Structure 1
């Protein structure tokens, strides 16, 4: 049989950007596992030295933090269902994926995937049922459509490749994992490929034999004339094609991973001075430490420690700080409103907001959920699925404002220290360069100690009293 998994994977192979982002979002562990892909070996560096250097390298999670912070903005306020959403779909929205997630949480994670990887999707699935022919039987069995979040790595391919809409697709191949029995007391997860067509579905699994050939495991019809899949875009290029909106930040994060490794290495070298001896016989046993001495009769003998000047260390530190600042700005750019998106009829006096890149991503999420709700409605014979509204009024007027907002979120969320937040604001010119953190910290502590609630000599109002002598209503302001 045709190897549906291998050929499809080759036809829709993950590009370098997705592989890079997978490593970055996986953190230090996956970056180390990638080895020389993102941390090249130096010329003439032996394997053991490289292994040790890789083992102590740690990732500054700029990409992951930025995606997390930005994806949370559209969902800082609850997603709202329109009045046109059918009643039973509103009930299903409380557990939209039949695994406990409501529609707000599902959409929030969908936004993270769109920002992080640039592409994904929603499969509106319906469980396989037998013997259910009426709506009453359906309700009693709890059978209903539900959302499945599809990761970009699980989209193996589709036909035709030049389709311009989901309605034009005749085939979609998705990689899945299924849990199957493994003996009497255990289960195991295996890979399978779901092949969706117009009104059909197939499941392919590997055979148990030695050749591991892909065989048709199950198939059946569906009641929908189209494939119940909705693509979700970060930065749309074409139908079923997109790129990560923050891909350049990802490349900068890899640069930081490499530069930080270099900095750690040079610090290690600088912290261990080299003992240089002149005029001392090579066979002489040397003990280094307090209370020890080396004696020799040669008048030209000399002994000293050779230490690093530190200039390269400082240059490397400043370079890393500059790179971290550029990474923050790269993330903040998604929040900056583009003036070109404001028409002549829209003026500042009208309070019309322009469009920022993150707002476009939020609009993509909103549109995708609308389409998915329509598919859900189609599964159960509802005329329409209705619409949702995602919060989108979070644009910043300038890059400085957006960057400062990200810094504030990082500080309040415990991602950076208060001192780092103070230093970054000072470096950007927001705070006076004459301010000192230690003095400012003392002022903050003094203000907290002296921050006592004010007391006012206001007569208590007459009237009914609650137990304990407290008035039953708030006192009214006293006016002369």
Structure 2
């Protein structure tokens, strides 16, 4: 038995602390509703029926997911390029790098999203097991179409690792990954089996839970084998690196602000619902008085001090809540834009790149680290098939903004193109950032564009 094989290490558990929050935000409104009280607390004395109704109509402002998507797309707004030193056959494999139809550009773009989201992911360069196939040489493997392929490893699947510093470089000596394997179940069905893969230099093993055991820690060896590589072919990819194999989400503050917005917006929806329903107040009408509400109805009362009226909300709290939400949305945009702001004093992106690490914006550093990780994975790929050098790639990094206002304006424009921000709001935000003259009016701009505001006729020649 291997009772500890499924257990997460302390370092992994610490990194996964914010993972449920990030996955919920990336999952959108449905995932946030499913999380329930984790991110939308139930008020004191609030009945379950009322809470369920409030949760059921809550909608998420997708600031976090949209920011991750926009930022991750910047390094891949231009094609990833392979250098001439990448062997020809590896270049061909890059058209389907994971044997699931994804090319290297698409695979790397997904890695960038994971790095910006959870903060750590990785590339496992694997090779199919050829035992029992009679493939004794690399030539035979090549003729049979057997070749290395890449696996995207998410933080969710990481259980633990061990490492050692060898010749000044941190090297993995053990890596444990959680996998879900799909197997046939009967003539037409299928089942999903959880297993743990343990990698060591030159060997691998898989463990599965003991069938029929009630002890969740009962795991036993299922399969094992040897590899021709004497290292573990895994490359970590970081969002914000803290140490070897340890990364944190670079946009974690934005994630917490998005949860605050989720909660505040729910409060705003509730108060709007209450404010839109006036309360009928009656004074000294007497218990015998029949009240009928309608345009053709009247209520008579004998007491001269009797009174009846509708009580409505004054609206001050509603306006304060609306302004608070708008302020929070602006703060979230700035938090995302900060990753694009280059070193103070640099004027152009080219100058920033020339200054190397010290001058790059945070997103450029992430793109550079990803580029290095892909180079390392290409080298592992080459070593699997006896090539001396795997070559290099170039990830687009010629982006960045001189100021926070410029960076946030770029994000606003991307949101407008995606349909999540109106033209008028984009105009107002650009004006607030000093990019549009303060004397210009949105209504006048619509006329210039030939799109009149409601109630105004278009300008004709």
Q: Same fold (TM over 0.5)?
A: yes
SS at match of 2:130: coil
Bigger shift: residues 422-431 or 152-161: 422-431
Question: How far 1:282 moved relative to its partner?
Answer: 4.1
Q: Distance in 2 between matches of 1:223 and 1:257?
A: 51
After superposition, residues 25-424 of structure 1 pair within 5 angstroms as 25-130=26-131, 131-160=134-163, 168-211=171-214, 213-282=218-287, 284-339=289-344, 354-424=359-429
Residues 159 and 169 of structure 1 are in contact (CA less than 8 Å); yes or no, is this contact kept in structure 2? yes
Task: Please say if residues 166 and 227 of structure 1, whose CA atoms lie closer than 8 Å, have aligned partners that are also in contact.
Answer: no
Following superposition, the deviation at residue 208 of structure 1 comes to 2.3
> Greater shift after overlay, 117-126 or 153-162?
153-162
TM-score normalized with structure 1 length = 0.87
Secondary structure at the aligned position of 1:391 is classed as coil
2: CA distance between counterparts of 1:349 and 1:51?
51
Question: For residues 169 and 53 of structure 2, what CA distance do their matches in structure 1 show?
Answer: 50
Deviates more, 1:207-216 or 1:159-168: 159-168
Answer yes or no: is the 8 Å Cα contact 2:342–2:352 preserved in 1: no
Kindly state the Cα deviation for residue 20 of structure 1 after the two structures are TM-superposed.
1.5
Residues in 1 aligned to 2:450 and 2:167: alpha-carbon distance in whole angstroms: 61
For residue 42 of structure 1, report the CA deviation from its aligned partner. 1.8
The 3 A distance-change label for structure 1 pair 375 and 164 is same
Aligned residues: 448
Equivalent residue number for residue 8 of structure 1? 8
Residue 441 of structure 1, CA deviation: 1.7
Q: What is the SS of the residue equivalent to 1:117? A: coil
Change (3 A) 1:283 1:237: farther
CA–CA separation in structure 2 for the residues paired with 1:373 and 1:282: 86
Contact 1:79–1:389, Cα closer than 8 Å, also in 2? yes
- Deviation by residue 1:126-178 (Cα, 9 ceiling, x = unmatched): 01112111233212321000110000110000124999988632210001111
* Cα shift at 1:77: 0.7
1:363 and 1:129 mapped to 2: Cα distance? 35
Say if 2:352 and 2:360, in contact at 8 Å, map to a contact too. no
Alpha-carbon distance in structure 2 between the residues aligned to 1:349 and 1:186: 56
Matched residue of 1:74: which SS? helix
The C-alpha deviation readout for 1:375-398, integer Å capped at 9, x for no partner, is 000100100111100010101111
Change (3 A) 1:12 1:355: closer
Q: Do the aligned partners of residues 366 and 165 (structure 1) sit closer, same or farther apart at CA in structure 2, a change above 3 Å counting?
A: farther
Distance 1:132 1:17 in 2: 46
With the length of structure 2 as denominator, give the TM-score of the two structures.
0.91
> How large is the RMSD of aligned CA atoms in angstroms?
2.6
Q: What's the CA shift string for 1:202-257, capped at 9, x where partnerless?
A: 11112321426322111000111111100000100000001111111111111111
> CA distance change for structure 1 residues 301 and 415 in 2, over 3 Å: closer, same or farther?
same
Return the alpha-carbon distance in structure 2 between the equivalents of residues 90 and 67 of structure 1.
29
For 2:336 and 2:206, locate their aligned partners in 1 and report how far apart those are by CA, in whole Å. 41
Alignment map for 1:452-471 (pairs within 5 Å): none
The Cα shift of 1:62 comes to 0.3
Q: Residue 89 of structure 1: CA displacement? A: 0.6
Residues 314-333 of structure 1 deviation map (CA, whole Å, 9 limit, x = unaligned): 01100100110010001001
Q: Secondary structure at the match of 1:176?
A: strand
* CA displacement, residues 271-291 of structure 1 (integer Å, 9 cap, x when unaligned): 111111001234644332322
d(CA) in 2 for partners of 1:269 and 1:451?
A: 46
For the residues of structure 2 that align with 1:126 and 1:135, how far apart are their CA atoms? 12
Distance 1:142 1:348, change over 3 A: closer
Once residues 325 and 311 of structure 2 are traced to their aligned partners in structure 1, the CA distance between those partners, rounded to angstroms, is 26
Describe the shift of the 1:164–1:314 C-alpha distance in structure 2 as closer, same or farther (beyond 3 A).
Answer: farther
Cα distance in structure 1, aligned partners of 2:248 and 2:167: 17
Unaligned segments of structure 2, at least 5 residues: 453-457
Structure 2 CA distance for partners of 1:450 and 1:90, relative to 1, 3 Å: farther
Moved more, 415-424 or 64-73: 415-424
Closer/same/farther in 2, CA of residues 224 and 450 from structure 1, 3 Å limit:
farther
User: Which structure 1 residue ranges, 5 or more long, are not aligned?
Assistant: 453-480
Shift of 1:112: 0.5
Question: Closer, same or farther in 2 for the Cα pair 1:11/1:399, shift >3 Å?
Answer: closer
Change (3 A) 1:443 1:166: same
